[in-house]
Structure 1
Amino acid sequence: MSLAYKPHSYQEYAINRVEDSPIAGLFLDMGLGKTVITLTAINNLKYDSFDIDKVLIIAPKRVAEDTWSRESSKWQHTQHLRISKILGTQKKRLDALKADADIYIINRENVPWLVAQTGKKWPFDMVVIDELSSFKNSDSQRWRALRRIRPFIKRIVGLTGTPAPNSLMDLWAQLYLLDSGERLGSTLGGYRDRYFYAAAKQGHVVHSWKQKRETESKIYEAISDICVSMKAEDHLEMPEKLMNYIPVVLDKESRAKYDQLERDLLLPLVDADTTIIANGSAVLSNKLLQMANGAIYDEDKIAHVIHEAKLDKLEDVIESANGKPVLLFYSFKHDIKRIAKRFKIKELKTNDDIAEWNKGNIPLMGCHPASAGHGLNLQDGGCIVVWFGLNWSLELYEQANARLYRQGQKDNVIIHHLVAEGTMDEQVIEALDRKATGQNALMAAVKARIDKYKKG
C-alpha cells in the first residue's frame, strides 16, 4: 500500500532548493525525511520540468540495497520511479548499469569502479551523495574518482546530518565535490591557510590546526547560497520530537525460525542441542521479541544468536549520526552484550556516567528503560535516541524518551525505533501508538498471531 505525501513546510523548502539550484547541500538531521525530499525533487525534475534523465545515488551499502527503493515504493508520487541497483558482482553491476531506469544506486566503495567503467561517457546528469560526510577525505579513492568526473555532472546533491562532526577542516573536501572549489578554494592547503592557523608544529610539520576568529561564521556565509541546514530555527519550531521507524528485514533462515516458534510454540536449535519452549502468551511474546532483536534465551538462560539484522541497522544509524551522541535503549542482557561486541558502547551505571554523557564525552551510551526513571537528566548530552528493542510498558517507554526530550533540551529530539518486519515488534509499536499497552495489549497481540495460524 502506497501513501499520499504531504510535506511539512521545511520539506517543501528543501525540495524547492534542490529543484531550483544545480548544486544543493542538504544538512538534515536524521528523521527529517531526506530520502523522500530528494525523491520528490528527482520526480519533479524528471517528469514535470524534464530537466534530468538519469540519476545516480551514492550511498552506504545497506542503504543502497534497501532504503531508497523501499522509500520510493512507499509513496504514491514516487512509486513509478524505475530503480536499478549497481551492486554485487561485476556482472550484476554491469547489467544494472545497462538497465533502463530513472535512478541508479551504487554503494560508495564501487564509485572508483563506476568512474573507470564509464569514463568521459558518464551517463548520469544528476548525482546524489547520501552521507556526504563520508567523502571528507580528499586522499580517498572514492573522492578522487568523483572529482575526476565532476565536470560531467549537471546537478549534484549532498545529503548529511552534519558535514563537520569533528572539525570544519572536514568540510573542504565535501564542498569541493559540490562546487569544484568555488566557495572554499581549489586546494585544501589554501583552505587551511585562510581559515585556520597552526596551533602546534615541529619544524615544518603541523600537528594540530585551530580555527581563526570568526572562521565558522565566514565559512557558513560562504556556502549559504547552496547549503541549507534543517536544524535552523528558520525552518522548524524548536525543539520538536520526531519519531522515526526503521524497518529491519530478517533473512530467510531467521524468518523461518521465528515463524516456527510462533506457530508451534517451540523451536529446536539443532546446533545447540536444545529446544526453546514457549508456554503461555507472556512467555511467547517475550521469546518472539528476543528473536526479533537477534538472540533468544533457553531455559538455562544461555543466549543463542539468531541473526544480526538489527546490529546492521544500528551501524547505519550510528554512522548517519556523524559523531553526534546516541542514547540506546535495549531490552535484554544479550542485546547489550552483542552490541558491545560490535560497537564501543558505555552502559549507564553511575552518576559519573551521567555527567560524562551530559558533557558530550560518550558517543554511544546504552541504558535499560527500567533504569531511566524520573529525574534522570540527559538532555545536555545529545538529542538522538535509538530503541534497539521495545517492551509493552508505555510508562517505561515515555519515561525513557523523556530523558532527552525535556525542559532544557535545545535541539530536536529524534527517536529511532528498529522494527523487525512481520514480528511482535510491530504489535508493540501499534500498542504504543494506541496508548494501549500492558498485559491486555500483550495478550491481544499474541492471540491475533496464534489465530492467524489456526485459520491457516
Structure 2
Amino acid sequence: MKANWIIYNNHLALQDGKNVYHPNASDIYSLLSKDDCEKQFNINCENPTVDLPNIRFSKLGSSLHIRLNNNECGEIICNIEAKRKGTYIPVDVLEGTIIDQCVYNNTWFYLSGNTLQVQEILENVGIKGNGRISTRQYLKLIELELLNGTRLLDNEVEISCIKNTIDNNEQVPSTLKATLFPYQRTGFLWIKRMLDDCNGCILGDEMGLGKTMQVITEMLSLKARYEVPMLVVAPISLLVNWQRECAKFAPTLHTAVHYGQNRIGNYKELLNYDVVITSYTTVVSDIHMLNMIRWKFVALDEAQSIKNPFSARARACKKLNRERSIAVSGTPFENHITDIWSLIDFVQPGLLGSLESYQEVITDDVSGGKRIEPILSPLMIRRLVADVAKDLPEKVVSTQALQMSENECHEYDRYLTSLKNSVESDKINLGMLQQLRIYCTHPYAVSEDKGFGDPAEVSIKYQRFCEIVEEIVSREEKIIVFTSYKNMFEVFKRDIPNRFGIQLWAINGETPVAERQEIVDRFNGLSGSAMLILNPRAAGTGLNITGANHVVHYNLEWNPALEDQSSARAYRRGQKKTVFIYRLYYTGTVEQVVNERIERKRDIASSAVIGNDGQSQDRADILRALELIPSIRN
C-alpha cells in the first residue's frame, strides 16, 4: 500500500491510513527527481507532484524569525514564521521540532540558513509549538535576543496587556483582616500569578501605596496552600513593623523576628513559624543556617539594599535557598543600570547572565534603559500615587513601629534605671519622662559630646526617617517634619541638606512670629523637594503649608489633638494631593506608651465617651512607661 502526499497545516506530509508522517525538506527534494516509487519511513510513496499536481516546488529557501504578540485575552503568543516576498508565513512546529518546509499559496519551499539556530532557541526556552507561552518563556526569549544579538525576534507584545490578564474573579484570602483598595487587589493577584508562572517578580509601587499589605496578602494565600515557611528580609528599622502588620492584618500567620544577639540558634526552631522576619545583616551572618531551610517564599523589603551586586548583602540574599522571590522597592532604579541587573538577578536567578556580559550590551544610559525595558516591564508592577489617586482617601496614615538597636537598648535602659532611682513613686509626672523621650529622638539629642558623626549610624529611627525622605525626594515632593526638641532640630539642620541636597527651613519657638509665614511662603513656592522642620507647639496651628503632601511625626505627642492639628498644616483646604502622614515610634519604650495613649484617646473620642479628668490615667501611663524595657528580640 502506498502512502499519499497531503498538505498538513502548512507543510507537506505523508498519510498512510491513520498514520501521518512529516518528512523534512531534504527528503522531499530527493523524491522530486524520482519517477518511481520510493520508500520513506519504510512505506512506499510517489513523487509529491503525482499526488499534488497543483503545487509548485520552489528552489529558493526562506529564513525564519520568531514573532511575539498578544491575543485578544492579552496572553503572550509565540509563532515561528518565514518571510517570503514581503509576507510572513506560519511555520509548523510539532512536539518542539520545526518542520523545515512550507506550503503557501500553492507554492512549496524549504527553510534555510537559521533553522537550526531557531530550533536551538526553542529547545533552550522549552517551547513545544506555536501559540501561548508563559511569562518566563517570554523573558527567556527576550534575554537570548538581548544578550546574544541574534536578531531573530520580532517583539510586538504590549506589556500593559500582560498585566491585564489576571483573573479578577479570584478571591482575596478570607483570613486577611483588611479591605484592599482596588489597585492593591490587582497587585496581589498579579503577584500571585507571577509567582505561580515564573517564581519571581518586583513590586515597585511608590511609597504610601501599601506594598507591605499586598505582600502579606500573598503570604496568606501561600499559607492556605501549605507553602511555608516564608522569609521576609528588611532593614533593621522595619523588622518589628513587619511583625506588627502581620499580627494586625494576618493574625493567622505565626511570625518570629530573627535578629540580635539572642536570636534563634537552631534552624529547626525556625520551622515552627510561618513567617520569619530578619535583617539584611543577619542574612549575611546566618546564611549557612538559613540555607538549611528550603524557603517557599522570600521577600526583600526596601530591595534597593541589594542594588550593589558586589555587596555582601546582595551576594547573601541571592544564595538563599528558595522557591519564590519578590523584591519590594519604591525606588527600584536609583543610579545605575546595574541596579536593575541586581534586582532581576534576585527574582530571576541567571536570567540576564553574568554582570559582565550584561554590561557589554546594556549601557548605563537612556539607550541601555530602553534595551532592558522589555525584560523589566513584565517582571515589575509599579503604580504611582497619581495613577491610583481615585482609589486613595485624602489622607493616608502610616504608623511605623521601630525596634531599637542593641546599643540604643542598653543606653535607654541606663536612662530608665537612673530615672527610677531619682524619683519617688508618689511624685512622678509626665514631665519626668522627658529625658527618655528625648533619647528616643536620637542619641545626639541628649549627648554632651559635641562631636557629630553620621546620625543614621547610631539611630534606627533616623535610619528609617532617611529611607522615607530618600523616596520622597526621588519624587521631588516636599516634607514637613514635626519634632518637639531643639537638639533634634540641630541634627536635621546639620545632616539633611548635605545628605539629600535639598533646602531646609525650621520654625520653632525662637522663630519670630512675623517671619514664620514668610518661611512657609518660600517653602510652598519652591519647585522640587524641600523640608520644613516644625515644633508642633510653635507651628502646629495657623500655618497653611499645602506645598507639602508628606508629614512626618518624628516623635509622638501625649495629646492626640496636638498631633492632629499639626497634620492639618498640610491636610487642609487647598491641598490637591493625597497627604501621607508617617508616625514613627520605638516599641518597648515610653514612645510605645505615648502611641497607646493616643490610640486610646482617639477610640474614646470616636465613641463620644466623656470621661474623667485623665489624671488617674496619666499615672497609669507613667507607670507603664517605667515598666517597659526595649529588647531586640520579640
Q: TM-score, normalised by structure 2?
A: 0.52
Give distance in 1, aligned partners of 2:234 and 2:532: 26
TM-superposed CA distance for 1:136, in Å, is 0.6
Name the CA shift for 1:169/1:383 in 2 (closer, same or farther; >3 Å).
farther
Alignment partner of 1:19 is 2:186: no
Secondary structure (helix, strand or coil) at the match of 1:385 reads strand
Alignment partner of 1:187 is 2:340: no
TM-superposed CA distance for 1:40, in Å, is 2.7
Is the Cα contact below 8 Å between 1:427 and 1:445 reproduced in 2? Answer: no
Give distance in 2, aligned partners of 1:355 and 1:8: 36
1:142 pairs, out of 305, 313, 316, with 313
Is the Cα contact below 8 Å between 1:58 and 1:108 reproduced in 2? Answer: yes
The C-alpha deviation readout for 1:173-193, integer Å capped at 9, x for no partner, is 2222112364x6753663585
1:124 pairs, out of 290, 295, 304, with 295
1:30-41 matched pairs, under 5 angstroms = 30-41=207-218
The C-alpha deviation readout for 1:104-123, integer Å capped at 9, x for no partner, is 2321123234434466x552
The C-alpha deviation readout for 1:343-375, integer Å capped at 9, x for no partner, is 66844368689757844454x542224346656
Alignment partner of 1:246 is 2:418: no
- Aligned counterpart, 1:7: 180
- Aligned counterpart, 2:151: none
- Aligned counterpart, 1:327: 480
Q: Unpaired segments of 5 or more residues in structure 1? A: 198-210, 267-283, 297-302
1:224 pairs, out of 370, 377, 384, with 377
1:49 pairs, out of 219, 225, 249, with 225
1:99 pairs, out of 257, 264, 270, with 270
Give distance in 2, aligned partners of 1:97 and 1:245: 33
Alignment partner of 1:177 is 2:343: no
Give distance in 2, aligned partners of 1:5 and 1:58: 23
Is the Cα contact below 8 Å between 2:294 and 2:323 reproduced in 1? Answer: no
Is the Cα contact below 8 Å between 2:560 and 2:601 reproduced in 1? Answer: no
- Aligned counterpart, 1:204: none
Instruction: Letter of the 2:190 partner, please give it.
Output: R
TM-superposed CA distance for 1:156, in Å, is 0.5
- Aligned counterpart, 1:206: none
Is the Cα contact below 8 Å between 1:379 and 1:405 reproduced in 2? Answer: no
Is the Cα contact below 8 Å between 1:285 and 1:446 reproduced in 2? Answer: no
Give distance in 2, aligned partners of 1:164 and 1:433: 41
Identity, in percent, stands at: 19
TM-superposed CA distance for 1:155, in Å, is 0.6
- Aligned counterpart, 2:547: 379
Instruction: Letter of the 1:42 partner, please give it.
Output: M
- Aligned counterpart, 2:248: 74
Name the CA shift for 1:392/1:93 in 2 (closer, same or farther; >3 Å).
closer
Q: Unpaired segments of 5 or more residues in structure 2? A: 1-174, 404-408, 449-454, 474-478, 499-503, 508-514, 624-634
Instruction: Letter of the 1:336 partner, please give it.
Output: F
TM-superposed CA distance for 1:415, in Å, is 0.4
Instruction: Letter of the 2:346 partner, please give it.
Output: L
- Aligned counterpart, 1:280: none
Secondary structure (helix, strand or coil) at the match of 2:472 reads coil
1:281-296 matched pairs, under 5 angstroms = 284-285=429-430, 288=433, 291-294=436-439
Aligned residues: 397
Give distance in 2, aligned partners of 1:377 and 1:219: 41
Indicate the RMSD between aligned Cα atoms, in angstroms. Answer: 4.5
Give distance in 2, aligned partners of 1:164 and 1:405: 33
Give distance in 1, aligned partners of 2:436 and 2:176: 30
Q: TM-score, normalised by structure 1?
A: 0.69
Give distance in 2, aligned partners of 1:186 and 1:142: 18
Name the CA shift for 1:70/1:373 in 2 (closer, same or farther; >3 Å).
closer
TM-superposed CA distance for 1:378, in Å, is 5.7
Name the CA shift for 1:112/1:353 in 2 (closer, same or farther; >3 Å).
same
Greater RCO (Cα-Cα under 8 Å, separation 6 or more): 1
Instruction: Letter of the 2:613 partner, please give it.
Output: A
Give distance in 2, aligned partners of 1:36 and 1:356: 33
TM-superposed CA distance for 1:397, in Å, is 4.1
1:367 pairs, out of 520, 525, 534, with 534
Alignment partner of 1:60 is 2:235: yes
Name the CA shift for 1:193/1:3 in 2 (closer, same or farther; >3 Å).
closer
- Aligned counterpart, 1:316: 464
Give distance in 1, aligned partners of 2:387 and 2:327: 20
